[in-house]
Amino acid sequence: MSIEWIPPIMLFFVVLTMLLGVHVAWAMGGVAVVSIILAWNFNSLFIVISSVYGVMTSSFYVALPLFIAMGVILERSGIADDLYQTFYVWAGRVKGGLAVATVLICVIFAAMTGLTGAACITMGLIALPSMLKRGYNKDLAIGTVIAPATLGILIPPSVVMIMLGTIARVSVGKLFFAGLVPGLCLAALFIIYILIRGFLKPELCPSIEVEVSLKDKLIALKAVILPFFTIFGVLGAIFFGIATPTESASIGVFTILLSTVFNRTFNWKLVFESSLETFRLTVLNIWIIFGALVFASTFTALGGIELMEKLIMAFHMTPWMVMFIILVILFILGMFIDPFAIIFLVGPLTFPMMDKLGFDVIWYAIVFIMLICIGYITPPFGANLFYMKSVAPPDVSMGDIYHSSWPFVIVMLIGVVLVIIFPDIVLWLPNKMIVH
C-alpha cells in the first residue's frame, strides 16, 4: 500500500470506530499505532512516546485536575441550590423570570465548573421541576436548561480550553478571555429569546405571583458573594498577569472549599468523593489527550496535512470557502459523534490549516468551540439531550427533549454568525491581557 493513502484511511477508521462506540482515546490512539506499523515498522512506535512526552513532563497540566476539582466540589456541595434560589427571588416576577434565572445560574455554574454535563444534570434536577410546576411550557423549560449548560466549555475557566490550547499551541490564558465575551453574548441571546417568547405568549412562561420583600432579596445575595469572588479572583489573576492558569486554579479550589465552609456543607466525605471523581475525570481526559496527540503526530508525519492542502488547491477554494466547509462538517459531526471526539479529531487537522490560510487561531478556536457547544444539544446524539433524559421527570419524553433543542440551536447559530462577522467580539479582551 502506498503511504499517501494511509492518512485518509486513518480518518475513515477513526470515525467508524467512534460511531461503533469505541472510546475516543482508544479509537484515535489505536488507529494511529496500527497506521505507524503499516507505514513503517514496529521500531517506529517511538512516535507514540515522543508525542505524549511533553504532556507527561509539563507542569501546566496540573491545572487540569484543579479546574475539574472546582467543578466537582461545586456540583456536590449544594452551592448551586443557593445560587438558583437567589436568582429565583430576584427574577421570578418577570415574565420568563424563572427561565432567565436558570440561564444566569448556568452561566455562573459553567464559569465555576468548566464542565457541561455537571451544569446540565444539576440544573435539570433543580430548575426543570421548578419551572414545570409553575406552568412553564415544556419545550421552553427543557431548552432553557440544556442550551445554557453548554457554556461550561466556552466561558472560562474551561477544561476543554486547556486541552484545546495543547492542540492549537496557543496561550490558554488568551483562550480563556477570548471565550468570555462570546459566552456572555450567547447567554444574552438566550435571555432575549426567552423574554420575547414571554412577551408574545405570557402563558408559556408565567411570572411568580408571590411577592418577595427587598430585605429577603438582599439576604439571598449572600449566596453569590463567594462564587463571584472565586470567578473574578481566578480570571483576574490570569488577566493581569499575577498568576498562571495553574496557580489561579489553586486559588479557585481554595475559594470553593472556603465557600463550602461558609455554607456549612463542608465535610470529609465531600472531600473524599470529590477527590475520587476528580481523579477519575482527570485520568479520562489525559488518556483522551494522549490518543489525540498520537493520532495528530502520526497523521502529520504521514503527510496528511499536505494532502489536505493539495485538495484545497486542486479545487481552487478560497480561505472562507474552506472555513465554511469545516464549520458545516463540525455541525454535522456534532449530531452523531461525542463533542470531545470532534475536538481531538478535527482540531489537530484544522488548526495548522487555518493558520496557513491567514485566520487568527484564537478566533478560530472560539468559533470551533461554539460549534462544539451546539453539538451538545443537536439531535439525535447530543450529549446534553441524554443528560437531560437521565434526570427529567417521567412525563418528559426523548421526543420532547429533541423538539425543545431546535429553537436554541438557531439562537446559538446566530451567535456564531455574529462572532464571524465581528471577530473583535473574540479578540478584543485577549488583546488587552497582561501576559504572564
* Reported confidence tier of residue 92, pLDDT bands at 50, 70, 90: low
pLDDT of residue 364 exceeding 90, the answer is yes
Grid cell locating 255 = 475559594
| Alpha-carbon gap, residue 368 to 313, rounded angstroms | 23
- pLDDT tens digits for range 307-327: 777 777 777 788 899 999 999
* Residues making up the chain, counted from first to last: 436
* Amino acid identity at 33: V
**pLDDT mean over 367-395:** 88
Q: Is this model's pTM higher than 0.85 or not? A: no
CB 140 within 8 A of CB 127: no
Q: Which of 9-13, 219-223, 241-245 has the highest mean pLDDT?
A: 9-13
First vs last Cα of the chain: how many Å apart? 49
37-48: average pLDDT: 76
pLDDT attached to residue 11 = 80
Q: Would you state the pLDDT for residue 361?
A: 92
Residue 435 has pLDDT above 60, yes or no: no
Average pLDDT over residues 263-273: 83
Cα(209)–Cα(176) distance, rounded to whole angstroms? 40
Cα atoms found within 13 Å of the Cα of residue 424, Cβ hemisphere only = 2
Task: Please give the torsion angle defined by the CA atoms of residues 164, 166, 172 and 174, in that order, rounded to the nearest 10 degrees.
Answer: -80
Helix or strand holding residue 214 (H, E): helix 214-220
SS3 411: helix
The domains of the chain are located at 60-270+301-431
389-428 tens-digit pLDDT = 888 888 888 889 999 999 999 999 999 999 999 999 999 9
pLDDT reported for residue 320: 92
**Helix axes of 172-200 and 398-421: crossing angle, nearest 10 degrees:** 120
Cell of 207: 411570572
Query: Is the pLDDT at 385 greater than 60, yes or no?
Result: yes
- Average pLDDT of the residues in 219-223: 69
How sure is the predictor about 345, in pLDDT bands with cuts at 50, 70 and 90? confident
Neighbours of 287 (CB within 10 A): 15
Q: Distance between CA atoms of 252 and 235, rounded to whole angstroms?
A: 9
Choose among 353, 367, 362: nearest CA to 172: 362
**What one-character-per-residue DSSP string does 273-338 give?**
HHHHHHHHHHHHHHHHHHHHHHHHHHHHHTTHHHHHHHHHHHTT--HHHHHHHHHHHHHHHHTTS-
